[in-house]
A and B are shown apart, each in its own frame.
Chain A
Amino acid sequence: MKVGVVTFPGSLDDRDAARAVRAVGAEAVSLWHGDADLKGVDAVVLPGGFSYGDYLRCGAIARFAPVMDALIPAAQGGLPVLGICNGFQVLCESHLLPGALIRNDHRKFNCVDQRLVVENASTTWTSDFEAGQEITIVLKNGEGGFVADERTLDELEGEGRVVFRYAGDNPNGSYRGIAGISNERGNIVGLMPHPEHCVEEGYGPSTDGLPFFTSVLRQVVSA
């Protein structure tokens, strides 16, 4: 199985994302922002970082990169896509996921081991979790506040598309404590915390990031 990892100018966590892909026995394929070519991959990770310097709005310029011209229709057609942090922002700017991410309400950069509740364990990227399971992974960003209008929030809740919710104190002012969401089909998932940093003992607070990658592996292999 091949998982593509996109590198935009200013991507930061593409190497760690590729490492996480290899940690579960899949092949990591580098995808370049300037090429409208997905190289036949079975899934894609949009990594964290500060694409295009976060100028204009986080993810706003990356959304129009040539690779996104190939990725957007593929994702709409069912290709598994995981957006982490800046990748989540790119997915929202692309309208592949609803809502937007704004500056943390306390205006400080967060860098913490964050507890999350897995609310939906049936998406392509979360099927190796149990619904209601609590996990701890790294959260590090300045603009992680998830916002959307009330109707969209109700829709997300009603359809089980709130995939992750912050446990304990809300770290950034996200509406309804939302840390990650999915599209209706469950193949596209975005979240602010970083599973790719939590796949090896001795690095980070846990290995709770591994099930993200084993989930997609299992789904693609059984598809």
Chain B
Amino acid sequence: MGHVVIDVMLKPEILDPQGQAVNGALPRLGFEQFTDVRQGKRFVLTVDGEVTDEVLAAAREAADKLLSNPVIEDVVSVRASDGETTDPGQ
């Protein structure tokens, strides 16, 4: 099995209330050094077999069409994964 990892972030100019909530909690835990938090989304798509160029191209299309909204979000990365961090069993 191969995996494609897609990262989506809110555009910098769009307010991120979730990130702000996390940002507000960090100092209470003693993490004073972080001045801002932006929260994003990661998608892990699984295919039978290897991640070919065609698979990556399809993943990019899915990322643009469904996984992100270009009005408010940027697709920051679409890449094949070695699987280490994506195995649902781990």
Contact = CB atoms under 8 A, between A and B. Distances in A.
Interface of A: 56-57, 60-61, 64, 92-93, 98-100, 102-107, 145, 147-149, 173
B18 A60 contact: no
Nearest to A107: B17
A56 B72 contact: no
A99 B11 CA distance: 13
A102 B66 contact: no
B1 interface: no
The 10 closest A-B pairs by CB, nearest first: A100-B71, A103-B17, A100-B72, A107-B17, A100-B69, A57-B69, A147-B14, A107-B21, A105-B17, A105-B15
Contact of A147 (B20, B67, B72): B72
Interface residues of B, number: 13
9 contacts: A56-B66, A56-B67, A100-B71, A100-B72, A102-B15, A107-B17, A107-B21, A147-B14, A147-B72
Given A145-B15, A147-B14, A173-B15, A102 B72 contact: yes
B72 A104 contact: no
A104 B17 contact: yes
**Taking chain A's interface residues, is the majority helix, strand, or loop, or is none over half, making it mixed?**
loop
Interface in B58-76: 66-67, 69, 71-72
Contacts of B10: 102
Nearest to B24: A107
Nearest to B13: A149
Contact of B15 (A64, A98, A99, A147): A147
Contacts of B14: 102, 147
A106 B14 CA distance: 14
A61 B67 CA distance: 10
Contacts of B18: 103, 107
B32 to A, nearest CB: 22
A92 B69 CA distance: 10
A105 B84 CA distance: 37
Contacts of A149: 13, 71
Most buried by A among B21, B67, B71: B71
A94 B60 CA distance: 19
Given A57-B69, A102-B17, A145-B15, 15 more contacts: A60-B69, A93-B69, A100-B69, A102-B10, A103-B17, A103-B18, A104-B17, A105-B17, A106-B17, A107-B18, A107-B20, A107-B21, A147-B14, A147-B15, A148-B71
